[in-house]
Amino acid sequence: MPGSTPASSTARKLWRHLGGLVGAGLLLGLALLALLAPWLAPYGPTEGDLLRAKQPPFWLEGGSLAHPLGTDPLGQDILSRLIYGARVSLAVGFFGVLLAAGLGSFLGLLAGYYGGRLDAFLTAASNLVLSLPYLVLVIVLATVMGRSLFNVVLLFGVTGSTVFYRLVRGETLRIREMPYLEAARSLGGSDGHILWRHVLPNLAGPLLTLASFEMSAMVFYEAGLGFLGLSVPPEVPSWGNMLALGRQFLTVYPWMAVFPGLAIALTALAMNLLGEWLRRQVARH
């Protein structure tokens, strides 16, 4: 359309796709919850009252609007911990994917463009990592590295870089023989200039699509590590830690595990809906 910008064109396409719009809306809402947690959460993330422990949600007998979603065995407000827990899940998903995409793309560009021994070595290393059961690999490494948010992000970023490496390497192998790259070389363009200005922009669509799905997977894996006691320390509110605490009372006080489970499912659904929309946009081009 005349006068339209790429951003406005993308926004119109997203507005016309229900799944992508719902996914983007949910993610935006979660991001706002995480950023504004100190102002939106009715209580502190570790503020507990043992006299109000195991209180049910407000719509059940014995519940109270003072704790809309109930309390956990330590008397901590579940709604407040869910809001603060969004920070951990979104941080792991965003920064983990950022590190994985950056590292994998850098190595994939080098391997695909230059080939040779570097390509053979990096491809063999990625195949070795991918041949291992990913969940087992993550559990072993998390046990060795210890419990902290930084370690979780680093773990997912490094191990997740292999899928980005394979994508970028394969596309770079295809693109490097294109006529427009030959023209750029003949005009004196350096390798760095060609990779940055001509190869990488053509990978933006596939990278964004893969990143959205990988972010969803990392949210799930972080929750799994938290459930096993291998993610962030127990005093840090995270949805995985909440699941681990609530599983002991699942048959008696199910809300302690149901609400963090729903939060994880909704976050993963939002990322997958947005990723599916991105995949369709890339396929059209």
pLDDT digit string, tens, across residues 173-222: 888 777 777 777 777 777 777 777 778 888 888 898 899 889 989 998 99
Residue 260 main-chain phi, psi, to 5 deg:
-65, -35
- Answer whether residue 14 is part of any domain: no
pLDDT of residue 7: 57
Does any domain span residue 152?
yes
Residue 2 lies inside a defined structural domain of this protein: no
Give the per-residue pLDDT at 98: 95
Residue-wise DSSP of 110-160: HHHHH-HHHHHHHHHHHHHHHHS-HHHHHHHHHHHH-S-HHHHHHHHHHHH
Q: Is the pLDDT of residue 2 over 60?
A: no
| pLDDT beyond 50 at 144 | yes
Q: Is residue 124 part of a domain?
A: yes
What is residue 76's three-state secondary structure?
A: strand
At position 86, the amino acid (one-letter code) is A
Q: For residue 188, report the phi and psi dihedrals to the nearest 5 degrees.
A: 90, 15
Q: Over the stretch 239-260, which tens digit does the pLDDT of each residue have? A: 988 888 888 888 888 889 999 9
Query: What does each C-alpha distance from 156 to 44, 90, 148, 241, 243 come to in angstroms?
Result: 28, 13, 13, 18, 20
Residue 120 is assigned to a structural domain of this protein: yes
Q: What is the pLDDT of residue 283?
A: 65
Q: What is the phi-psi region of residue 70: left when phi exceeds 0, alpha when psi lies from -120 to 50, beta otherwise?
A: left
* pLDDT, position 10: 66
Return the pLDDT at 52: 86
**Cβ atoms 78, 70 nearer than 8 A:** yes
Query: Domain count of the chain?
Result: 1
The pLDDT, as a whole number, for residue 208 is: 87
How confident is the model at residue 3, as a pLDDT?
47
Q: Is the pLDDT of residue 92 over 70?
A: yes
Domain presence at residue 24: no
In a domain, 20, yes or no: no
Domain that includes residue 115, residue range: 32-284
CATH classification of the domain holding 275: 1.10.3720.10
Residue 16 domain-assigned (yes or no) = no
